[in-house]
């Protein structure tokens, strides 16, 4: 089956979308444009096996108007592309960025 691009131009609320998907280990979100997002509260909350979230290298969240309480709550296996490992004190949307040497995050450029 051919891989399809994310058709999410109108998506703004992703609150609880993957919450408690305890068997989810990898998610490919390449092609997803996050510019319309407004709420990512608990987006991956409880995804205890989630290790990798692939996104485009130019992935950028909106500069304002976004809430993301506990976006990565209890994602103990997550590791960003540059090696940033889960930290229980860093579970909000601020970690929803591509992990680079200059900016820690939990996402991996795919």
Percent of the chain with pLDDT over 90: 83
The mean predicted confidence, pLDDT, of the chain is: 92
Label residue 51 exposed, middle or buried (CB < 10 Å: 0-12, 13-18, 19+). Answer: middle
Q: Residue 85 to residues 15, 20, 46, 95, 96: CA-CA distances in angstroms?
A: 23, 19, 16, 11, 13
**Number of structural domains found in the chain:** 1
Q: Write down the pLDDT at residue 110.
A: 87
Residue 1: pLDDT band (50, 70, 90) is: very low
pLDDT tops 70 at residue 101:
yes
Q: Quote the CA–CA distance of 26 and 53 in Å, as a whole number.
A: 6
User: 0.85 cut: is pTM over it?
Assistant: yes
Domain span holding position 109: 1-110
* Confidence tier at 4 by pLDDT (50, 70, 90): low
CA dihedral 19, 24, 30, 32 (to 10 degrees): -20
The 10s digit of each residue's pLDDT in 58-94 is 999 999 999 999 999 999 999 999 999 999 999 999 9
């Amino acid at each position: 089956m051919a891989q399809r691009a994310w058709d999410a131009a109108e998506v703004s609320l992703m609150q609880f979308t993957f919450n408690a998907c305890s068997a989810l280990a990898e998610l490919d979100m390449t092609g997803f444009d996050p510019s319309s997002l407004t709420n990512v509260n608990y987006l991956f909350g409880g995804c205890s096996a989630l290790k990798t979230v692939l996104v485009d290298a130019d992935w950028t969240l909106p500069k304002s108007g976004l809430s993301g309480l506990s976006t990565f709550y209890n994602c103990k296996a997550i590791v960003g592309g540059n090696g940033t490992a889960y930290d229980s004190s860093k579970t909000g949307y601020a970690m929803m960025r591509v992990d680079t040497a200059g900016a820690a995050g939990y996402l991996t450029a795919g």
